[in-house]
Structure 1
Amino acid sequence: MKRLDTYLLQNFLGPFLASFSTTLVILVIQFLSRYQEDILGKGFPASALAELFGYASASLVLLALPMGLLMAGLMTMGNLGERLELTALLSAGVPFIRILAPLWAFGLVTMGAATWLSWQVVPRSNLKLYTLLYDMEHARPALALKPGFFNRWIEGYAIRIGALTPPDRVRDVLIYEYAPDGSLQRTIRADSGRLFLNKAWLFLELTLYGGCQYETSLGSQQAPALIQSCFDTLLLRLDISGLGLRRSDERLFAGHQYMLEIGALRTAVDSLTTLYTSFQEERNQALRSVWLPPLPSDSALPLPAVPRPLVENLLRREKTLAEYYTQRHTQLQETLWRYQLEWYYKFSYPLATVVFLVLGASLGGVIRKGGLGMPLVVSTALFILFYVLNAQGKKLAREGLLHPAVGAFLPLLVIGPFTLYLILLVTTEARWLYADWWRKRWRAWRATW
């Protein structure tokens, strides 16, 4: 049996690594397309982009693992079935559950790793990821001189170059320098020049050759005067410290539900629950004070008239109070739902790894088709179903239409019974599990009528 376990693992690991890596790359590309407007075109260094994708991959691993395990299990058992090895094992009296023992062990190890990622690693990577995304979103575009266009990335300057010869040669340079009030202060023309960019992105050094500069100044009679001076070499040092990527303090985002580890998230949920309960008591007590007092027993007697301005002020105050409590109630409730949803996701994602592994192995034992075509089609369809159910469950839970636990476990609640059905179908071979048996019963029942 040890040889069987080794043989199954050898046939399983290759498809798992291939499908897991492919799914992770696809998810990273989807992530890039979602934030491409904030990332691309700003001249960020390759190290910053690699750091961004590394942090994003840590959180996307939890989504890629189910797909990798599903397809690997389907291909492994499908290949065994297509080569009649599965039939031989079952005929020899080896239970299907025993055949899956090494895959069960691998799935439990993967679930443990996914739990560690979900509880500890992903919150830390999310903190760095969203901090970096925030900095990239608010970063000014980096220096990129395009020939034939006026480049205004540097504050107070408009620079146009006719041609750019890598790495640092420019020709036909025209520079407009503006005063703080926006008026034109100096114009510089040059035949050629060289660029030098400080590695710390503090300044741009531009050495110009063969040109003239025209500067506007005030004369003795406060009349503007145009001063022209030509040069063989002119050195300009332009401040570009405001360009590029500037890092924010991570503590600004540390309280978000995505950035909290399992212990801190549990504490936050308990605190929000206590706050929400105390707020409800405060709201109910405040609304009870709005109730009108009962009329006296002898209502036939005339009641004292209440001045109209006083009534209007009271109504206005109560309306403002009701709007405040309604808005505050909605805010607290939605915040509590979001934190509870993230808490349940800490358990649903690791559990999905085992469920999808068993689903793929059982489905492969039923279909018994190996190769890449059929497993890829079936795995893609099931993963799309999982992805859609996961997105809809999150959306409905945040809107309060589903309990956060139901929203987090919605994909497993839908796919889990189907997985159990497949296990029974492969292990018991009961006739009532097949559709033909039900069709025959249906026809027999209709024939009696």
Structure 2
Amino acid sequence: MKKIHLLLIKAFVRPFIATFFVVMFILLMFFLFKWIDDLIGKGFEWYTILELMYYASAANVSMALPLSVLLSSIMTFGTLGENYELVAIKSAGISLQKAMRPLLMVILMLTVASFLFSNYMLPKANLKFGSLLYDVRNKKLSFLIKPGVFNNAIPGYAIRVDAKDNDGMLHGIMIYDHKDNNGIPKVILAKEGKMEKTADGKFLVLKLKDGVQYEEQAKSSGMYNPRQIFSRRRFKETAPQFDMSSFDPDKTDPNAFGNSTQMLNLKGIVKKRDSLTKQLDTLKRNTIASLTNNFKQFNVVKGYTKIKVAPKVIDDVILKDIPNGMRKQSLESATNVVAGIMQHVPNWAPRQTDLTGEIIFTTVEYQRKFTLAASCILLFFIGAPLGAIIRKGGMGLPVVIAISFFLIYHIITTVAEKSAREGNLNPVFAMWIAVIFLSPLAAFLTYKATVDSALFDVNYYKQFFVKLFKKRAK
């Protein structure tokens, strides 16, 4: 390897690593802002939040990696142009294309790594993230009793306390039990109590003292009963138990989310898409067969006679061609057929829409694993020529230009993907439309950088307009 190649690789790798971790940090902050209400103040351990952020960072690679490639390539060639190192490279007989070759090899390695990451590691990370986030959002890890606030962490119960001591003693306890009695809550009031776990940790025992329990008997029918039974029971001590299985962070099986498309690799996506296609074909075949049976013509004598009969022309008003004695029966029969069809159509149509949407989504996710790799190559061929043209390094102008081009790429991809999911655009074309749209721009910028074009030189345009106005003045 030539020294010039090693110089270019070092100049690229350093800003790439820095920008990649900076972008990942920013995206993680966005993640925290989004889920801060479900994470902060819920009594979660710090390592649980870190584990959730670790799995979320894997999903952010799809945005951080292309943006880092674009930004670092602009900064690398912009710094080389600003320090006249790019001029020295060209004066040594090395063209811009030859100077880009070692970095292109690095980008190709990143491309292969990004594809392997999106196909093997990202589905597993999404699987872990989905299961853990489900537990967090449903408050299954632990709960924190706050005075003056109803807590619904225990399924079927709402607990409120007026005060809480440092030793765990609760005062002014109110419990609404919604589990039984057909939705009519059972109310328990107690002056004080204390929470304890059983030895096996499966149940939470709330030892209550000096309280009263109110319970209304459920109605046996929907009619009003003036003699509705209402019971009240006072107690000195009682100890209701609550099931703690819902608080186990390991309760939710990650494999329960394993059929989600985002948590499958290419092989799993193809298998799921084939299964969905078979289900859709079966649904269409059964629908057609069911509808065809309602409109079947019973040609009993067809094929058993050589007598030719002219087809009977049916008038627009079909009832005119039906004998008077059969009209009522025909109307009733037609009404029953239409009622049967209308009874099944509301079930067929939504199911067909759901299956079609899932098939489109599997195609989108299948192509996404390739577009992530292709975006690295595309944005490199945009960023490297741009850096050579603008000849500015650092975190100023390169950052603005990089974010602008990345937003264009991201907006095109997002809008096209949304259109594909709605069925307005072919999903394969939708996922590649940004690459197709920006590839001519990358080729144009590479050509302009090769011929040393002053595409972003303000003085060049100033002189151009000055000369243009002088010609017009003459």
Change (3 A) 1:174 1:430: closer
Alignment of 1:44-443 (within 5 A): 44-139=44-139, 142-146=142-146, 158-161=160-163, 168-169=166-167, 174-176=171-173, 182-184=186-188, 186-188=190-192, 214-215=210-211, 241=244, 244-246=247-249, 247-284=251-288, 286-288=290-292, 297-299=311-313, 302-304=321-323, 305-306=326-327, 307=329, 308-428=331-451
Task: Return the alpha-carbon distance in structure 1 between the equivalents of residues 437 and 232 of structure 2.
Answer: 79
Task: Return the alpha-carbon distance in structure 2 between the equivalents of residues 281 and 146 of structure 1.
Answer: 57
Secondary structure in 2 matching 1:161: strand
Task: Return the alpha-carbon distance in structure 1 between the equivalents of residues 264 and 71 of structure 2.
Answer: 32
1:99 positional shift: 0.2
> Given residue 160 of structure 1, which amino acid in structure 2 is its aligned partner?
D
> Given residue 385 of structure 2, which amino acid in structure 1 is its aligned partner?
S
1:279 positional shift: 4.2
- 5+ residue gaps, structure 1, are 218-222, 230-234
Task: Return the alpha-carbon distance in structure 2 between the equivalents of residues 48 and 31 of structure 1.
Answer: 15
Secondary structure in 2 matching 1:187: strand
Q: What TM-score, normalized to structure 2?
A: 0.75
1:179 positional shift: 9.1
Secondary structure in 2 matching 1:42: coil
| 8 Å Cα contact 2:149-2:160 kept in structure 1 | no
| 8 Å Cα contact 1:341-1:404 kept in structure 2 | yes
> Given residue 94 of structure 2, which amino acid in structure 1 is its aligned partner?
V
- 5+ residue gaps, structure 2, are 178-184, 214-230, 300-308, 315-319
Task: Return the alpha-carbon distance in structure 2 between the equivalents of residues 318 and 119 of structure 1.
Answer: 44
Task: Return the alpha-carbon distance in structure 2 between the equivalents of residues 309 and 157 of structure 1.
Answer: 58
Task: Return the alpha-carbon distance in structure 2 between the equivalents of residues 104 and 204 of structure 1.
Answer: 61
What is the aligned-residue identity percentage? 25
Counterpart residue number, 1:220: none
Map Cα deviations across residues 228-256 of structure 1 (whole Å, 9 max, x no partner): 89xxxxx9998672674543122221111
1:204 positional shift: 7.3
Counterpart residue number, 1:232: none
Task: Return the alpha-carbon distance in structure 2 between the equivalents of residues 153 and 81 of structure 1.
Answer: 60
Task: Return the alpha-carbon distance in structure 2 between the equivalents of residues 420 and 72 of structure 1.
Answer: 19
Compute the RMSD of aligned alpha carbons: 4.0
| 8 Å Cα contact 1:187-1:213 kept in structure 2 | yes
Map Cα deviations across residues 324-379 of structure 1 (whole Å, 9 max, x no partner): 44333322211110111111111111111121122211111111111210111111
Map Cα deviations across residues 368-403 of structure 1 (whole Å, 9 max, x no partner): 111210111111112222222222122111101111
> Given residue 187 of structure 1, which amino acid in structure 2 is its aligned partner?
K
Task: Return the alpha-carbon distance in structure 2 between the equivalents of residues 200 and 53 of structure 1.
Answer: 31
Change (3 A) 1:197 1:9: farther
Task: Return the alpha-carbon distance in structure 2 between the equivalents of residues 373 and 238 of structure 1.
Answer: 62
| 8 Å Cα contact 1:123-1:258 kept in structure 2 | yes
1:313 positional shift: 0.8
Task: Return the alpha-carbon distance in structure 1 between the equivalents of residues 356 and 235 of structure 2.
Answer: 68
1:125 positional shift: 1.0
1:48 positional shift: 1.6
Task: Return the alpha-carbon distance in structure 2 between the equivalents of residues 73 and 46 of structure 1.
Answer: 37
Secondary structure in 2 matching 1:35: helix
* Segment of structure 1 superposing worse, 281-290 or 388-397: 281-290
* Segment of structure 1 superposing worse, 367-376 or 286-295: 286-295
Change (3 A) 1:8 1:182: same
> Given residue 251 of structure 1, which amino acid in structure 2 is its aligned partner?
N
Task: Return the alpha-carbon distance in structure 1 between the equivalents of residues 128 and 236 of structure 2.
Answer: 52
Change (3 A) 1:18 1:311: same
| 8 Å Cα contact 1:38-1:137 kept in structure 2 | yes
Q: Aligned pair 1:3/2:12, yes or no?
A: no
Task: Return the alpha-carbon distance in structure 1 between the equivalents of residues 402 and 113 of structure 2.
Answer: 22
